[in-house]
């Protein structure tokens, strides 16, 4: 078995957690995968896995070697793609990570993308966790706010504004706040990020969100759709992205408050690993979405 096959056997075993699963993925027997890994360990003079009767796990040396092997195999894939992409039809599984709230923006664009590129299979992961694109093998992600990871390339996608909203019924009962200080007399419907447990900061031009934190928190939830529904129901004031309340503001179901005290807009960006060759499927997805949102933003 050649060295490249041995590296593939090691990487797939590390990712899938067993020789059986790695063999199934590679079209080899579990015994062949195990022997390939053992020979690799002998060549390197280190143990890559700790083995027991029930499981295998990476050693510290194995974890370090795994990162190098992934880069080597990625570079080989990129070299192949660079030679063939001019004549290649974009195809394959495209793994996309995006914040939960972004599905309101992303899903309307997908029918046209799928019509244009029927050979691409989209694998969507909507969550608010800070996904590591490189470690978790994500092709492209949507992220909000400032981006600081030098390993990533980015293109701006969509500019949006967080709004403080309340129903007309709520404002009739409790009054319209005319300054951030008056928020202390109101009830808040707050969003808590499900993975970090951190409370979403309201975009007020005041230090540390101080006035909204002193409000009575009538509801705290980890779903923006539920937050919007509670706000429409008149339970309190909620902080909601503008693209989720366009219709409600238009038909008068919701009203905005304190617009003059709200900080400027933020944006969603498309990001992908900078050390990867831009494969045809990623390239067409990035170009398509940027054009799509340019037409609607």
Give tens-digit pLDDT for 94-113. 999 998 888 889 999 999 99
- Is the confidence at residue 148, as pLDDT, over 70? no
pLDDT at 128: 79
Domain at 162-261, CATH from 3.40.50.1100, 3.40.190.10, 1.10.10.10, 2.60.40.420: 3.40.190.10
pLDDT at 287: 93
How many beta carbons lie within 10 A of that of residue 260, not counting itself?
A: 7
| CATH architecture of the region 92-160+266-296 | 3-Layer(aba) Sandwich (3.40)
Look up residue 219 and give its two tokens.
Answer: 């509801």
Domain boundaries, the chain: 3-84, 92-160+266-296, 162-261
Give tens-digit pLDDT for 151-170. 778 899 999 999 999 999 99
3-state SS of the chain: helix, strand, coil percent to 5? 45, 25, 30
- Is the confidence at residue 229, as pLDDT, over 70? yes
Once rounded to an integer, what is the mean pLDDT over residues 214-227?
Answer: 90
Give tens-digit pLDDT for 72-83. 887 787 676 666
Once rounded to an integer, what is the mean pLDDT over residues 11-24?
Answer: 90
Q: Do 272 and 286 meet the contact criterion of CB atoms below 8 Å apart? A: yes
Nearest to 135 by CA among 152, 120, 153, 147: 152
The whole-model pTM stands at 0.66
pLDDT at 210: 59
In the chain, which ranges are E strands? 49-51, 56-58, 92-98, 120-126, 140-144, 152-160, 162-166, 187-191, 216-221, 237-241, 255-256, 266-273
How many beta carbons lie within 10 A of that of residue 76, not counting itself?
A: 12
- Is the confidence at residue 86, as pLDDT, over 60? no
92-160+266-296 and 3-84 share a CATH fold: no
- Is the confidence at residue 279, as pLDDT, over 90? no
- Is the confidence at residue 150, as pLDDT, over 80? no
Q: Which residues contact 33 (CB under 8 A, 6 or more apart)?
A: 9, 12, 13, 19, 22, 23, 26
- Whole-Å CA distances, 208 to 78, 182, 203, 211, 238: 45, 16, 10, 9, 17
Lowest mean pLDDT among 18-32, 137-151, 181-195: 137-151
| CATH architecture of the region 3-84 | Orthogonal Bundle (1.10)
């Amino acid at each position: 078995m050649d060295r490249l096959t041995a590296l593939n056997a090691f990487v797939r075993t590390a990712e899938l957690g067993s020789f059986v699963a790695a063999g199934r993925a590679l079209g080899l027997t579990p015994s062949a995968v195990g022997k390939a890994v053992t020979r690799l360990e002998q060549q390197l003079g280190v143990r890559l896995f700790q083995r027991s009767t029930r499981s295998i796990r990476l050693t510290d040396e194995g974890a370090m070697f795994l990162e190098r092997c992934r880069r080597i195999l990625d570079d080989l894939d990129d070299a192949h793609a660079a030679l063939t992409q001019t004549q290649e039809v974009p195809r394959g599984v495209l793994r996309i990570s995006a914040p939960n709230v972004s599905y309101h923006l992303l899903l309307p664009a997908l029918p046209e993308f799928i019509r244009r590129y029927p050979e691409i299979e989209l694998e969507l992961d909507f969550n608010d966790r800070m996904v590591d694109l490189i470690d978790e093998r994500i092709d492209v992600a949507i992220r909000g706010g400032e981006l600081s990871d030098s390993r990533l390339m980015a293109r701006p996608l969509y500019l949006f504004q967080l709004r403080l909203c309340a129903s007309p019924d709520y404002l009739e009962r409790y009054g319209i706040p005319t300054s951030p200080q008056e928020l202390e007399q109101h009830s808040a419907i707050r969003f808590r990020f499900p993975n970090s447990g951190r409370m979403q900061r309201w975009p007020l031009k005041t230090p540390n969100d101080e006035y909204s934190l002193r409000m009575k928190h009538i509801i705290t939830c980890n779903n923006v759709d539920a937050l919007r529904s509670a706000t429409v129901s008149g339970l309190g004031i909620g902080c909601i992205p503008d693209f989720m309340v366009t219709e409600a503001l238009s038909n008068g179901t919701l009203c905005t408050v304190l617009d003059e005290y709200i900080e400027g807009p933020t944006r969603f960006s498309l990001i992908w690993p900078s050390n990867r060759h831009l494969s045809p499927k990623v390239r067409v997805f990035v170009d398509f979405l940027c054009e799509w949102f340019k037409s609607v933003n």
